[in-house]
A = this chain, B = another copy of it.
Amino acid sequence: MKAIAKTKSEKGFEIMDVPVPTPGEGEVLIKVKASAICGTDLHIYKWDEWSSQRIKIPRIVGHEMSGEVVEIGKNVKDVKPGDFVSVETHIVCWKCYACRNNRQEVCMNMKILGIDTDGSYAEYVVVPEENCWKNDKSLPPEIASLKEPLGNAVDTVLSEDISGKSILITGCGPLGLLSIGVAKVSGAYPIIATEINEYRINKAKEMGVHYVLNPLKENVYEAVMDITHGNGAEVFCEVSGNQDALIEGLKATASGGRVSLLGLFKSDVKFDINDLVVLKGLKIYGITGRKIYSTWYKTSALVESGLLDISPVLTHKFKLEEFDKAFELMETGNCGKVAFIIG
C-alpha cells in the first residue's frame, strides 16, 4: 500500500510502498478514506526539536482520519467490517492513575497514532477496536476525519457551560475556527476572535464570529472591554500558542472568568500571573485531547444533527502523492483544515 512516512532525520516526508498491516488481538484494520493534517504533523514534517526527540524513524505519520473497517482481529466484538468510523488517536493504558480516575485524555502511558504507532497517511491503518467511533454512513469522509480535532474544540469551548456567555477565542487557525463553530451553535454571545491572517479572518466570519480583531491593527484588550460593556470576556479560549495572545486574552477576561488553554507555545511563556490569574480569581483548564468518550458523544451530536456545519473549515483536499504541496500550503497559513482524500 501507499503511505507517507518520516524516513530520515531531516525536513520532509517520503511516499513509500509498504505491506498492508495485520490487525492483532483487539485491533481492526481500516481502509483509510480521508486523513487531515494536524499542526503536529507539520512539526514532524519540519522535524523540529520536539519531533526529532519524540519520533522513531521510520514512522508512517497522520492521525486525524476516517475510514471503513475491512478486517477485525481476534476478540474484537463490537466493531464489524463495513463500519464507517472516525478514530480516537490516543491509545490509553486504562491502568495508570489518570486512566483509573477517568482522565484518560491525560493517560500517563499514552501512545499516539502516527507518532508512537504507524498512522493514517496510508491506504490502510491498524487501530485498537475501542478507538473506533462509528459514524453515520452519510457523513462525508473528510468531515468525519475532522471529528478528532473538532473534539478538542468541543472540550475547549465546553469545559463548562457557554450559552449566553461572551467568549474570546485567540487565533483562527483550524482549531480556532472549529471553536468558533462550537461556540456559535452552543449559544455563546458575543463571540470575539483575534487573528492577523486575512484568509483566516474571512474564514472566521464564515463560521459566524460576531467580532474579529486584528491585534496588529487594534488593541485587543480595549476592544474586548468595549464590546463587553467593560465586563471582559466571560470565557477565554487560547488557541494560538502565541504569548502575546495569552497575555492580552487573560487581561481581557472578566473577573472570575473561565479560561481554556489549547494552544501549544513555541517556548516558555512569561507573564504577570499575579494580576492576570491570581488576583482575578480565574479558573484555567489545560485542554489536550478528547475526553474518552464523552467528548465524542457531544461532537457527534453536533455534527450528525446538522447543527454544526464544519465544512467551511476544510479548505483544501489533496492526494497522498501531493503531500509536499499540502505541507507547503500549511506553512503559509492561508488555509483552514487540509485533508488527504485517500480511499
Interface of A with B (CB < 8 Å)? Answer: 78, 94-98, 100-103, 105-108, 130, 154, 158, 160-166, 182, 185-187, 189-190, 230-232, 246, 254-256, 261-265, 267-274, 277-289, 291-294, 296-302, 305, 307-308
Contact A255 B297 (CB under 8 A): no
B-side contacts of A163, CB under 8 Å: 154, 158, 162-163, 182, 185-187, 298, 302
The secondary structure that dominates the A interface is: loop
Q: How far is the CA of A98 from the CA of B279 in the complex (A)?
A: 13
B-side contacts of A264, CB under 8 Å: 274, 278-279
Contact B265 A164 (CB under 8 A): no
Contact B186 A187 (CB under 8 A): yes
- The residue that A190 contacts in the complex, of B108, B130, B261, B305, with Cβ under 8 A, is B305
B-side contacts of A182, CB under 8 Å: 163, 187
- The residue that A294 contacts in the complex, of B100, B154, B277, B279, with Cβ under 8 A, is B100
Contact A283 B285 (CB under 8 A): yes
Contact A287 B298 (CB under 8 A): no
Q: How far is the CA of A278 from the CA of B287 in the complex (A)?
A: 6
B-side contacts of A301, CB under 8 Å: 164-166, 189-190
Q: List 10 A-B contacts (CB under 8 A).
A: A100-B292, A101-B256, A101-B297, A102-B294, A154-B164, A161-B161, A267-B272, A278-B286, A279-B286, A279-B288
Q: Give the distance to chain B from A272, nearest Cβ to Cβ, in Å.
A: 5
Q: A97-B254, A187-B187, A305-B190 are in contact. Are A273 and B281 (CB under 8 A)?
A: no
Q: How far is the CA of A68 from the CA of B37 in the complex (A)?
A: 50
In the complex, the count of this chain's copies comes to 4
Further 6 A-B residue pairs, CB within 8 A, beyond A100-B297, A103-B255, A108-B255: A100-B292, A100-B294, A158-B163, A165-B297, A264-B279, A283-B286
Indicate the member of A97, A103, A162 with the most B CB atoms within 10 Å.
A97
Contact B281 A283 (CB under 8 A): no
Contact B261 A298 (CB under 8 A): no
Q: Which residue of B lies closest to A75 (CB)?
A: B25
Q: Which residue of B lies closest to A190 (CB)?
A: B305
B-side contacts of A291, CB under 8 Å: 102
Contact A187 B268 (CB under 8 A): no
Indicate the member of A103, A264, A267, A300 with the most B CB atoms within 10 Å.
A103
Indicate the member of A105, A161, A163, A288 with the most B CB atoms within 10 Å.
A163
B-side contacts of A165, CB under 8 Å: 297-298, 301
Contact B279 A106 (CB under 8 A): yes
Contact B284 A284 (CB under 8 A): yes
